[in-house]
Amino acid sequence: MPGDSQPIFYGVVASQLVTLVAYVVVTVGVGLLQVRANDLPLWRGQSADQRAATVPVYNDVFFKTQYIIPYPDDAAYQFQYQWWIVEFELFVFLLTAPCVLFPRFIERVRPMALTFLAAALVLVMDNINSVIFLRRSELAKAVFGEQRIEITLAGLLLVAIANFMTIISYGLYKEIPAEREAKDGTVWTAGVSQMSL
């Protein structure tokens, strides 16, 4: 059995499965928002005066989120903050997921993984706040589609839950020492104490 507690190891496995599902959902959600941003019907067929009147309203929707910078002239950058967290979470997942197959590396990877997860969790929580604002904005829902915003929000919430699960399970995980001799002469082998003769 990997580690000193089977339930904690199962927590490690479950956290990585939830992270995988969350990563897929948030990637699909942000991808759907990006596809919509790349082909906004908002700008088609507008005269220069109509566009001049529309751009400030569009910008205002994103400025109010405080984390999504509006790019009405270059849609490829519209959701760069969301893409950044998706890429950062992929990096963290690729760091932690192999430890499910090779649990002896958990203790070695843990300090680095928990540091990156803590940083990622802050970004995810900020991102959730931004997307919740989009969800409340009728204009944002009309422009990007309520379902796309909901999928992105669901993915971000799953990512936050998975991050919490990973932080807790990796934080509690303890490897069983292969063999360790205590000061009193007791030898520990695979977690079992044996008195030396």
Mean pLDDT by 10 residues, the chain (197 residues): 81 94 94 86 75 80 73 78 89 91 89 93 91 88 89 95 94 74 55 50
**What pLDDT, on a 0 to 100 scale, did the predictor assign at position 197?**
45
Q: Can you give the pLDDT at residue 43?
A: 67
Task: Please count the other Cβ atoms lying within 10 Å of the Cβ belonging to residue 178.
Answer: 10
pLDDT of residue 82: 87
pLDDT (0 to 100) of residue 182: 54
* Signed CA dihedral, 88, 167, 99, 109: sign only: positive
pLDDT digits (tens, 9 = 90+) for 19-74: 999 999 999 999 998 888 888 766 677 788 887 888 887 788 777 776 677 777 77
Residue that the structure tokens 């992929």 belong to = 90
**Beta strand pairing call for 179-181 and 187-189:** antiparallel
